[in-house]
Structure 1
Amino acid sequence: MPTLRRAGLAVLALLAPMGVLAACSSDDDSASSTTGASSTTTTAAAEELTILVTNDDGVGAQGIDVLVQALQAMPETKVVVAAPAENQSGTGGRTTPGGATATPTTMLSGEQATAVAGFPADSVVWALDGGIPETPQLVVSGINSGQNVGAFIQLSGTVGAARAAASRGIPALAVSAGVNDTAGFDEAAELAVAWIDEHRGALLDGSMATTPAPVANLNVPGCSAGEVRGVLEVPASADPPASLEKVDCGAPEPPTKPADDNAALAGGWAALSDIGVG
């Protein structure tokens, strides 16, 4: 999908400039060799990025499985999954009083994960309160089956989980595509990877780990024809979308650029919005 890749990378600069970090190590140049062998130089090792993945459709959903496989293919990246045991769509940022229990499970593709008996935000709270062995530098929530734009953002468990992370100082990316849209899931996963690549340096050096941390909301339209036009950085609308049906992404572009996330989807663009913790 070359058109999408070029357009997506050109505009995915929502929160911070890039700068890939490397953790460097080398021997003391002044130390003499005891073997007489020539000195060697240790190549700088890339720092590993740890990502916690969750969703609101449940740990057994297709969208999260597509996302996890795409993230695991990224170099120097560790992916940990903690997601609701059951579908929890539309539960926003709700949490379970006293916390939620969790059990090991596997995803559709057989990947190891943790099923949390609670809401999407519970999954994040469980993980950050010691459920996983290390604090992630990023939480990615999705890929949701159904776009979370406009007024739907406040109801979204996908967004609720992302905001739970951000409220604790962990940057988050919420990702959504059309309902049961397999092609849309693949496109959303590609764009999520591009966003992470774009922000990897800032995630690793901690400059995005403010309190609250930023929340990016990425939504991909379903295309009845053509390909997604690219990614537009737009504000989130306060209104519900007029429709979330598939659109003709190959039709002539609208005469003016969309003003918000609802209009971007309707015009065949993926919408990227900075939504904060609400």
Structure 2
Amino acid sequence: MAPPRRDLHDLNRRSWNEATKAHNSHKGDQAAFLRAGGSTLFPEELALLGPLQGRRLVHLQCNAGQDTLSLARLGAHVTGVDISDEAIAFARQLSRETGIPAEFIRADIYDWFEVASSHDQRFDLAFSSYGAICWLSDLQAWARGIASILAPGGAFVLVEFHPIAAMFDERLQLAYPYHDPEPLADGAVGDYVAVSREGLVPWGYQPGVTDFHNPEPGVQFLHGTADVITALLDAGLALEVFREYDYSNGCRFFDAAVMDEQRRFHLPPGVPTFPQMYAVRVRRPSTP
């Protein structure tokens, strides 16, 4: 079995460093938004996570920490892990400026799994969401890592964009395979915040960086939903929930998409629906 492609992960780290600067340029005073009680979370992930007060939670691929701090505000003891230097530096600064405590660790999650497991770190909940799976080169190692850091009875929640939606370009033209064993070479991180605008920045979108072109290439990995769920089952986790949604929370994939009052982007009238998101909750058994 081939190990995770850390060489490609490092390409993506540099690509995310550049994109994170552009993303945050559109988001104005995020600290003020969070200090005033704002949250970047959507109802779907909150329902799947359940009560958070006092729970030990790790946010895998946490990006720049906005969701992580929103989770911490709800009472969880949160650790955020991400490969991007820029994202983690911003997350730590945002934690200081908001006064919301959280630990942020800059690491490839495969490396972090090894360290956390060797130190017998355990969490009640693990969480990952929205554009995370496509950066994972080895689903089996990822799933084993999740199983290794969950406490007995602990759960992992994933809310993710659907690979069917990823098959289409912004004009709703079929452009990519559903899944592919070969990495997708043209995977540089783009400025999806500029495309989604108020969908991702409900407190006031700012123009910020315009016409962003990422100078750092990136590589993505195309995984089907069965690939994800099977990897989690093979790691000994029990499936509790699998759901599909015909809308996208916050993120506009298609030029003709229509946003509703809950910041969900729907396919336009006359276009047959297909799933744009899916959710999975798995649990580590309480006893061996």
TM exceeding 0.5: no
TM-score bracket for the superposition, by shorter chain length? 0.3 to 0.5
Which structure would you say has the larger Rg? 1
TM-score, normalised to structure 2, is 0.39
